[in-house]
Structure 1
């Protein structure tokens, strides 16, 4: 069976995360989004782990679902359809090769018992209660050892690998290869997570990633952002099948769903305080220094990929093993443009709920629904925006130095031209 999975999210116990990120709400929103599998996120946090063990029950091997007693029977969404995989994110802060490192890694466990073992080991070297994404003063290699020793089926995947501040290849504290980070244990790291500011095509340019799987997750801190990036599988539901698909990179991994990478917060270089945004080429002309304040620019993802790719592979390079991927704009952003109102407005979410209850889950509507049904089921400007998104007919002002990029599907006032078109179908 083909399904979407978002296995990079956070819980309400992580810093800067919405208090609405509860297991009950996650299970509900996953159904709205069309996600079959969702990470629990943050299983290392003691209080969150307690909720996981109390509110979830095992189903398919290594996967869990919300117990019926915690489901809201007064709403139309079947929360028990959502499968949870035990996941966490760890921030490793340490020094290696005379440089300070701050690297985020995703960790997955095949069972409650193994997750508890990992957390116990980590509690010996760090405070797990302070943050859902705990800051641990150990080398990434040592974290990988703990994960591998907990179970042969436990997995570590570097998160948002190009992010300047916390990516394993980031410009601020990252490495120039996985081998430099993990030494002789590097072969045990079989996948990397792209982050919002890069997509698979950008990662294909890096030769040392040729034998690694490219996966994607939302890194969501709030319910509406779940599924903004996801991985696509074609296999039976189980922890083992999901991890085997990622490890083997065979037909069980069908591809990924991606942000337009320009929309990510670190795609270009820049200095947000001075509102300076540069392409990698422009940054070089300014010696990577902000022309307004003379402080160093934050070097973004595109420039860092250019640096590590060198001249051997250009932007159009595609390896034989490449998996398909689809770039997507979230439905609430599309509705915001189509309706001409803010994406957090009541009008947007009223229309959103109407579409996902009447037509189908968000990912299915945006990516899978045939064009004739898109035109028939959605209002004129919304239908037009969905089709333009699929065709890549939009403009993006790139993000930089923590500022999200800005996507525009319509020119100013253009959406009004399509307001009466649904009546024609």
Structure 2
């Protein structure tokens, strides 16, 4: 058995179905299933994508259309192959049962079109609108977990620290076992405002694989966060085995934005959005209303223990985030060097220098090596890249 390296982004939304009807209302109109697969394969260079609105009947109809036209094939070990990318069909669901302090989002993935079709039929009586993304599920979280496992699926709590609609941000006081069956969790998704370095002190997460995904609401955001996975092939079964580290499979490296770029890194005043203490009146406006930051929440949960070694976490951003790299230059780089993954990971600086100015070459290499400097975000505002060739503070 020879294991290979695959890039995977497992949290991508659909903005519109093939009939032009909204699926994720806040998603871009160009964010159709077919466009996602084309973008991931031809431009981003992803080997695997998790599209988490595949519970929608119209999306399943689009998948069947691709299969019938010979543009895609269903794999024996699970997943749908389109060009060079494998689609893993999933659903993001909002859960708020009697044991939750607030709503939480979870990701459920399935190996076959038949399995996710069965899941859709089961969900129809437990959801107000099966045709939309991230809808409220009326039932217990554990019943949802049991159904996912009955259908040979994968269950992953999503963006677990964000202040809104997440496991630790809203759902529980201290422990995931307040609402979930811990034995039926396959892995956990960190989210944009956290990384391995911040989270690795939380004892109850020590047994779970950390996933880093984009939560893309537009085509350009695909690959905003992703992972490099050791697998034999790009299939559902191999992805499941990699999460559980079967026979040498696993995550090689996590790639994600510096947490300070995330919208909810700092605790901020709810009224003026300036960084604020959790306990003292806001120094700017005097308000005591807060949007709790991920950094502070993780510190509350951390036991401070030394936990098992994790794969490297590389702070990185998509090429479109790099200052001065505009759409024309981006397209030129793709035309010459291939995909975004090729440019970020493989193309040597001397080759880049033949195409773009030295300042931009430096920025691309600094991005590759996690050296970009960040201005922090908070309270719903993203941070930003402010410069390069400096040490992160």
Q: Give TM-score, length-normalised by structure 1.
A: 0.82
1:10-29 equivalences in 2 (<5 Å): 10-12=13-15, 13-29=23-39
Task: Answer yes or no: is the 8 Å Cα contact 2:271–2:289 preserved in 1.
Answer: no
Gaps (5+ residues) in structure 2? Answer: 16-22
- Aligned residue for 1:179, secondary structure, equals helix
Query: Is 1:82 equivalent to 2:85 in the alignment?
Result: yes
Q: Deviations over 1:125-181 (max 9, x none)?
A: 1123352222112222221122122x2x311100000011111011x4434222122
Which residue pairs with 2:243 in the alignment? 246
Q: Aligned pairs, how many?
A: 371
Which residue pairs with 1:417 in the alignment? none
Deviation at 1:391?
4.1
Deviation at 1:377?
4.4
Gaps (5+ residues) in structure 1? Answer: 67-79, 340-347, 412-425
> How far, CA to CA, are the matches of 1:260 and 1:363 in structure 2?
18
The two structures, once aligned, show a CA RMSD in angstroms of 2.1
- Aligned residue for 1:385, secondary structure, equals helix
1:347-358 equivalences in 2 (<5 Å): 348-358=326-336
> How far, CA to CA, are the matches of 1:50 and 1:291 in structure 2?
53
- Aligned residue for 1:257, secondary structure, equals strand
Task: Answer yes or no: is the 8 Å Cα contact 2:33–2:59 preserved in 1.
Answer: no
**Which is further off, 215-224 or 360-369?**
360-369
1:268-417 equivalences in 2 (<5 Å): 268-271=266-269, 273-278=271-276, 282-284=277-279, 286=280, 292=285, 294-310=287-303, 312-313=304-305, 319-334=307-322, 337-338=323-324, 348-410=326-388
Q: Deviations over 1:236-261 (max 9, x none)?
A: 12110111100227444212111111
**Which is further off, 376-385 or 87-96?**
376-385
Q: 1:179 to 1:81 in 2, by over 3 A?
A: same
> How far, CA to CA, are the matches of 2:139 and 2:106 in structure 1?
12
Deviation at 1:392?
3.8
Task: Answer yes or no: is the 8 Å Cα contact 1:196–1:258 preserved in 2.
Answer: yes
- Aligned residue for 1:338, secondary structure, equals coil
> How far, CA to CA, are the matches of 1:368 and 1:174 in structure 2?
42
Query: Is 1:233 equivalent to 2:232 in the alignment?
Result: no
Q: 1:173 to 1:189 in 2, by over 3 A?
A: closer
Higher helix share: 1
Which stretches of structure 1, 4 residues or more, deviate above 6 A after TM superposition?
Answer: none
Q: 1:148 to 1:393 in 2, by over 3 A?
A: closer
> How far, CA to CA, are the matches of 1:186 and 1:219 in structure 2?
24
> How far, CA to CA, are the matches of 2:354 and 2:200 in structure 1?
38
> How far, CA to CA, are the matches of 1:176 and 1:142 in structure 2?
21
Task: Answer yes or no: is the 8 Å Cα contact 1:175–1:181 preserved in 2.
Answer: no
Which residue pairs with 1:58 in the alignment? 73
> How far, CA to CA, are the matches of 2:223 and 2:372 in structure 1?
21
- Aligned residue for 1:266, secondary structure, equals coil
